[in-house]
């Protein structure tokens, strides 16, 4: 490997030249790097060793009616069927009266791990005596949060092992996701513990398992809105309930069930400038909270209705971090017409349930491949070299030939162009 020492200290032009020469990039490859570098100063702010921007497409999902308010929902994803499925699920639910969404208190959990503990029971008693003082120390480490109505709410201790004790501190971070402020507050408390109790601190860090920052949503759909492909709505509803049951019983199915939910959730989290990895980790931990990994959503029959429910941890922010420095995030907030992190949570969790409905509806009525094949084939023919004008024709030809692979797409494109050229 070539020497890339002090790469971060080089200018953008020097980095491009350096990597181009060392890796022997072609002129075309170099131009791709240069053409994709849309905002160099922002890139340098957001990432180490910045060379270019890797772009994902953004689309809009429609038909969202949440707590009697209509929303446009920006979604960022590379999967063709996600936005279409999201809009489809939302449209069905809107006809049924929409989503009823709510949020819990927005508290994040910070953890301080104490190691080499000799008497854990005794240590916990000592910490409990210091609780008020420790919470004050934490709040003083970030006084502006307290002034805005946020700050610490409680401190709890647990014994992890004979030599390990953890302090969990709940913090109201207001409109931010709050990772940096939480870590600052934890480090101040850790320093006090070391000074007063002479106790060794292993680490101080926030937890992405945000069980005190939950968002939930429900919907109630009459049978007649579910009729599809000759299936009665009642039959479709029963099949969706059974599919939901399987996701509660089988971990293999639950993983894919939840992936479909996260297709929509991640796309909105990205569009809102939030940390989708944090949301993913918290959601999947929540799916296993009772000792077995299960589907995050549940569907059941109530009278002549299909009722869906979804609850997940959603510690997203409305301000702070990349939210404040990426121009498109502010635009997306305006498109959604949201004014708070709570409202954003309600949108995101509702998108997850709509996504789940659309996926289950396709699975039990026609199969997921057939339902979304045209959208998938659009990406395939473009990858084969088709231009926008050829796209629709080639998708039709692929469907007629019952072909789904890149080699067939290239052959059909070649044959089509030859025929078009020869009249």
| Positions marked active-site | 79, 259, 275, 372
SS3 label, residue 380: helix
Question: Taking phi first (over 0 means left), then psi (-120 to 50 degrees means alpha), and beta for anything else, what does residue 407 get?
Answer: alpha
296 and 248 in contact (C-beta within 8 Å)? no
Q: Say how far apart CA 112 and CA 279 lie, in whole Å.
A: 21
Q: Say how far apart CA 214 and CA 193 lie, in whole Å.
A: 30
Which residues neighbour 154 within 8 Å (Cβ) at sequence distance 6 or greater?
A: 135, 169, 170
Based on the number of CB atoms within 10 Å of its own CB, is 2 exposed (0-12), middle (13-18) or buried (19 or more)?
Answer: exposed
| CA distance readout (Å), 239 to 293, 295, 336, 405 | 22, 16, 33, 31
Q: Say how far apart CA 123 and CA 125 lie, in whole Å.
A: 5
Give the residue from 176, 357, 338 showing the smallest Cα distance to 264.
357
Longest dimension (CA), the chain: 89
Which residues neighbour 338 within 8 Å (Cβ) at sequence distance 6 or greater?
A: 71, 318, 344, 347
Question: Taking phi first (over 0 means left), then psi (-120 to 50 degrees means alpha), and beta for anything else, what does residue 149 get?
Answer: left
Q: Say how far apart CA 241 and CA 263 lie, in whole Å.
A: 21
- Kind plus residue range of the DSSP H or E element containing 41: helix 40-46
- Kind plus residue range of the DSSP H or E element containing 331: helix 327-336
Q: Residue count of the chain, please give it.
A: 423
Structure tokens at 361: 């509806």
Give me the half-sphere count of Cα atoms (radius 13 Å) on the Cβ side of residue 277: 1
SS3 label, residue 198: coil
């Amino acid at each position: 490997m070539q020497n890339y020492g002090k790469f971060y200290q080089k200018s953008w032009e020097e980095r491009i030249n350096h990597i181009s020469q060392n890796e022997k990039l072609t002129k075309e490859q170099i131009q791709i790097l240069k053409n994709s570098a849309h905002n160099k100063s922002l890139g340098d702010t957001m990432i180490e060793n910045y060379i270019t921007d890797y772009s994902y497409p953004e689309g809009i999902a429609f038909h969202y009616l949440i707590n009697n308010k209509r929303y446009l929902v920006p979604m960022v994803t590379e999967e063709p069927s996600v936005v279409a499925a999201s809009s489809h699920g939302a449209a069905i639910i809107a006809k049924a009266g929409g989503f009823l969404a709510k949020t819990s208190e927005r508290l994040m959990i910070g953890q301080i791990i104490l190691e080499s503990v000799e008497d854990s029971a005794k240590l916990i008693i000592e910490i409990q005596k210091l609780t008020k003082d420790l919470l004050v120390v934490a709040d003083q480490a970030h006084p502006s949060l307290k002034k805005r109505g946020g700050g610490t709410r409680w401190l709890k201790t647990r014994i992890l092992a004979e030599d390990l004790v953890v302090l969990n501190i709940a913090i109201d971070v207001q409109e931010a996701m709050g990772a940096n402020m939480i870590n600052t507050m934890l480090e101040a408390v850790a320093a006090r513990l070391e000074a007063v109790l002479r106790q060794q601190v292993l680490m101080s860090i926030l937890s992405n398992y945000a069980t005190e920052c939950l968002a939930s949503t429900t919907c109630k759909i009459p049978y007649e809105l579910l009729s599809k492909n000759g299936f009665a709505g009642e039959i479709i509803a029963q099949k969706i309930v059974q599919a939901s049951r399987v996701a509660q019983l089988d971990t293999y199915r639950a993983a894919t069930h939840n992936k479909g939910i996260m297709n929509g959730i991640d796309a909105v989290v990205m569009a809102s400038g939030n940390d989708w990895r944090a949301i993913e980790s918290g959601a999947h931990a929540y799916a296993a909270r009772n000792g077995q990994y299960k589907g995050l959503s549940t569907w059941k029959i109530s009278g002549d209705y299909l009722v869906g429910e979804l609850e997940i941890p959603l510690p997203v922010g409305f301000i702070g971090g990349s939210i404040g420095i990426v121009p498109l995030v502010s635009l997306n907030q305006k498109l959604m017409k949201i004014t708070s992190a709570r409202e954003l949570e309600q949108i995101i969790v509702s998108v997850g349930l709509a996504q789940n409905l659309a996926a289950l509806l396709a699975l039990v009525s026609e199969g997921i491949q057939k339902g979304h094949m045209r959208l998938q084939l659009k990406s395939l023919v473009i990858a084969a070299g088709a231009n926008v004008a050829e796209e629709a024709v080639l998708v039709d030809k692929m469907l007629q030939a019952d072909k789904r692979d890149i080699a067939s797409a290239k052959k059909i494109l070649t044959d089509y162009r030859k025929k078009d050229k020869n009249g």
